[in-house]
Amino acid sequence: MAPTSRPTIDSVKRPHDAKGHSDKKRRQRDTAPMSRLTIDSIKRLHDAKGYSDFIPYPTNKVIGIIDDAGDAQAALHDLKAAGFTAKQVRVLTGKEGAHRLDVKGDEHGPLARIVRSTQRLLGDYEIQHATRHEQELLAGHFGIGIKAHYKEDRDKARQILKAHHGHFINFYSPWTMESLDP
Protein backbone atom coordinates (compact mmCIF):
# COMPACT_ATOMS: atom_id res chain seq x y z
CA MET A 1 0.00 0.00 0.00
CA ALA A 2 1.46 3.35 -1.05
CA PRO A 3 1.78 6.06 1.58
CA THR A 4 -0.77 8.83 1.26
CA SER A 5 0.27 12.40 1.58
CA ARG A 6 -1.55 14.60 3.97
CA PRO A 7 -3.10 17.71 2.53
CA THR A 8 -1.61 21.01 3.69
CA ILE A 9 -3.55 24.15 4.38
CA ASP A 10 -2.28 25.65 1.13
CA SER A 11 -3.37 22.68 -0.95
CA VAL A 12 -6.95 22.67 0.28
CA LYS A 13 -9.31 24.91 -1.65
CA ARG A 14 -11.69 26.65 0.72
CA PRO A 15 -14.63 28.02 -1.20
CA HIS A 16 -16.55 28.94 1.95
CA ASP A 17 -15.62 30.51 5.23
CA ALA A 18 -16.79 29.36 8.67
CA LYS A 19 -20.19 30.96 8.15
CA GLY A 20 -20.64 29.32 4.75
CA HIS A 21 -19.96 32.47 2.71
CA SER A 22 -18.23 31.97 -0.62
CA ASP A 23 -15.07 33.87 -1.48
CA LYS A 24 -17.08 36.11 -3.82
CA LYS A 25 -19.64 36.98 -1.13
CA ARG A 26 -16.89 37.59 1.42
CA ARG A 27 -15.11 40.00 -0.97
CA GLN A 28 -18.39 41.84 -1.61
CA ARG A 29 -19.09 42.09 2.12
CA ASP A 30 -15.57 43.28 2.93
CA THR A 31 -15.60 45.99 0.24
CA ALA A 32 -19.21 47.14 0.64
CA PRO A 33 -19.63 50.81 1.54
CA MET A 34 -20.44 51.63 5.14
CA SER A 35 -24.16 52.21 5.50
CA ARG A 36 -24.02 53.84 8.91
CA LEU A 37 -21.10 55.90 10.09
CA THR A 38 -21.14 56.77 13.78
CA ILE A 39 -18.61 58.40 16.05
CA ASP A 40 -18.26 55.14 18.02
CA SER A 41 -17.64 53.11 14.87
CA ILE A 42 -15.03 55.64 13.77
CA LYS A 43 -13.32 55.46 17.16
CA ARG A 44 -13.22 51.65 16.93
CA LEU A 45 -11.83 51.79 13.39
CA HIS A 46 -9.25 54.38 14.34
CA ASP A 47 -8.19 52.37 17.39
CA ALA A 48 -7.82 49.25 15.23
CA LYS A 49 -5.75 51.15 12.65
CA GLY A 50 -3.54 52.90 15.19
CA TYR A 51 -5.25 56.29 14.90
CA SER A 52 -6.48 56.30 18.48
CA ASP A 53 -5.10 59.79 19.14
CA PHE A 54 -7.74 61.46 16.90
CA ILE A 55 -10.55 63.17 18.84
CA PRO A 56 -13.63 63.38 16.61
CA TYR A 57 -15.94 64.92 19.23
CA PRO A 58 -15.67 65.37 23.03
CA THR A 59 -18.87 63.48 23.94
CA ASN A 60 -20.19 64.13 27.47
CA LYS A 61 -17.28 66.40 28.34
CA VAL A 62 -16.91 69.84 29.81
CA ILE A 63 -14.07 71.51 27.92
CA GLY A 64 -12.41 74.71 29.07
CA ILE A 65 -9.28 76.67 28.22
CA ILE A 66 -6.79 77.84 30.83
CA ASP A 67 -3.96 80.10 29.65
CA ASP A 68 -1.43 79.73 32.47
CA ALA A 69 0.39 76.49 33.43
CA GLY A 70 0.16 77.26 37.16
CA ASP A 71 -3.59 77.84 36.92
CA ALA A 72 -3.98 74.62 34.91
CA GLN A 73 -2.06 72.65 37.53
CA ALA A 74 -4.14 74.14 40.34
CA ALA A 75 -7.35 73.31 38.44
CA LEU A 76 -6.22 69.69 38.04
CA HIS A 77 -5.51 69.52 41.78
CA ASP A 78 -8.98 70.89 42.58
CA LEU A 79 -10.67 68.54 40.10
CA LYS A 80 -9.01 65.59 41.83
CA ALA A 81 -10.03 66.94 45.26
CA ALA A 82 -13.62 67.27 43.95
CA GLY A 83 -13.67 63.55 43.14
CA PHE A 84 -12.86 63.49 39.44
CA THR A 85 -10.54 60.62 38.55
CA ALA A 86 -7.54 60.72 36.24
CA LYS A 87 -9.58 58.67 33.78
CA GLN A 88 -12.24 61.42 33.67
CA VAL A 89 -9.80 64.30 33.06
CA ARG A 90 -7.68 64.99 29.98
CA VAL A 91 -5.31 67.86 29.24
CA LEU A 92 -4.19 68.92 25.79
CA THR A 93 -1.66 71.58 24.88
CA GLY A 94 0.74 72.59 22.12
CA LYS A 95 1.26 70.91 18.77
CA GLU A 96 0.53 67.44 20.16
CA GLY A 97 -2.87 68.54 21.41
CA ALA A 98 -3.66 70.33 18.15
CA HIS A 99 -2.63 67.20 16.23
CA ARG A 100 -5.17 65.14 18.19
CA LEU A 101 -7.95 67.58 17.24
CA ASP A 102 -6.94 67.56 13.56
CA VAL A 103 -9.55 70.14 12.52
CA LYS A 104 -9.22 69.37 8.79
CA GLY A 105 -8.87 65.61 9.27
CA ASP A 106 -5.71 65.61 7.14
CA GLU A 107 -3.42 63.98 9.69
CA HIS A 108 -5.46 60.90 10.56
CA GLY A 109 -6.52 59.44 7.24
CA PRO A 110 -9.72 59.23 5.23
CA LEU A 111 -12.08 58.49 8.12
CA ALA A 112 -11.01 61.64 9.95
CA ARG A 113 -11.62 63.65 6.76
CA ILE A 114 -15.09 62.10 6.49
CA VAL A 115 -15.86 63.00 10.11
CA ARG A 116 -14.75 66.62 9.71
CA SER A 117 -16.52 66.99 6.34
CA THR A 118 -19.73 65.61 7.84
CA GLN A 119 -19.45 68.00 10.77
CA ARG A 120 -19.07 70.92 8.35
CA LEU A 121 -22.17 69.82 6.42
CA LEU A 122 -24.41 69.19 9.43
CA GLY A 123 -23.74 72.42 11.25
CA ASP A 124 -20.33 73.69 11.86
CA TYR A 125 -20.28 74.63 15.55
CA GLU A 126 -18.11 71.52 16.00
CA ILE A 127 -15.59 72.85 13.47
CA GLN A 128 -15.74 76.40 14.90
CA HIS A 129 -15.09 75.07 18.39
CA ALA A 130 -12.40 72.63 17.28
CA THR A 131 -10.69 75.49 15.40
CA ARG A 132 -10.82 77.73 18.46
CA HIS A 133 -9.46 74.92 20.67
CA GLU A 134 -6.67 74.24 18.16
CA GLN A 135 -5.67 77.93 18.12
CA GLU A 136 -5.64 78.05 21.93
CA LEU A 137 -3.47 74.92 22.15
CA LEU A 138 -1.01 76.21 19.55
CA ALA A 139 -0.76 79.45 21.57
CA GLY A 140 0.52 77.38 24.50
CA HIS A 141 -2.74 77.34 26.46
CA PHE A 142 -4.25 74.27 28.10
CA GLY A 143 -7.45 72.55 27.03
CA ILE A 144 -8.90 70.64 29.96
CA GLY A 145 -11.66 68.11 29.33
CA ILE A 146 -13.69 66.55 32.12
CA LYS A 147 -16.08 63.63 31.55
CA ALA A 148 -19.33 64.75 33.16
CA HIS A 149 -22.52 62.80 32.52
CA TYR A 150 -24.55 64.56 35.24
CA LYS A 151 -25.49 68.22 35.64
CA GLU A 152 -23.96 68.47 39.12
CA ASP A 153 -20.63 67.21 37.71
CA ARG A 154 -20.83 69.72 34.86
CA ASP A 155 -21.51 72.55 37.33
CA LYS A 156 -18.66 71.44 39.60
CA ALA A 157 -16.22 71.20 36.66
CA ARG A 158 -17.28 74.64 35.36
CA GLN A 159 -16.82 76.24 38.79
CA ILE A 160 -13.34 74.76 39.16
CA LEU A 161 -12.24 75.81 35.67
CA LYS A 162 -13.68 79.31 36.18
CA ALA A 163 -11.95 79.64 39.57
CA HIS A 164 -8.62 79.12 37.79
CA HIS A 165 -9.23 81.69 35.03
CA GLY A 166 -10.83 79.20 32.64
CA HIS A 167 -12.66 80.54 29.61
CA PHE A 168 -14.52 79.21 26.57
CA ILE A 169 -16.10 76.57 28.82
CA ASN A 170 -18.65 74.34 27.08
CA PHE A 171 -20.39 71.03 27.60
CA TYR A 172 -20.63 68.68 24.60
CA SER A 173 -23.49 66.19 24.82
CA PRO A 174 -23.91 63.55 22.12
CA TRP A 175 -26.28 65.81 20.15
CA THR A 176 -25.80 69.38 21.36
CA MET A 177 -23.36 71.85 22.80
CA GLU A 178 -24.14 74.00 25.84
CA SER A 179 -22.11 77.13 26.55
CA LEU A 180 -21.31 77.14 30.27
CA ASP A 181 -19.19 80.28 30.16
CA PRO A 182 -18.30 82.04 26.89
In a domain, 52, yes or no: no
Instruction: Among 61-65, 91-95, 109-113, 120-124, name the one with the lowest average pLDDT.
Output: 120-124
User: Measured between alpha carbons, how far is 68 from 157 in angstroms, rounded to an integer?
Assistant: 18
Q: Is residue 27 part of a domain?
A: no
Total domains in the fold of the chain: 1
The answer to the question of residue 159 being in a domain is yes
For 54, counting Cβ atoms within 10 Å of its Cβ (0-12 exposed, 13-18 middle, 19+ buried), the class is buried
Q: Is 135 inside a domain boundary?
A: yes
83, part of any domain? yes
Which residues are within 8 A (CB) of 9 and not within 5 positions of it... i.e. 6 or more apart?
none
The answer as to whether 26 is a domain residue is no
Residue 48 belongs to some domain of the structure: no
In a 10 Å sphere around its CB, with 0-12 CB exposed, 13-18 middle and 19+ buried, how is residue 79 labelled?
buried
pLDDT band at 56 (very low <50, low <70, confident <90, very high): confident
Q: What is the mean pLDDT of the chain?
A: 76
- Condensed to tens digits (0 to 9), the pLDDT of residues 121-138 reads 877 678 788 889 999 999
Confidence of residue 109 (pLDDT cuts 50, 70, 90): confident
Q: Give the domain extent around 172.
A: 57-181
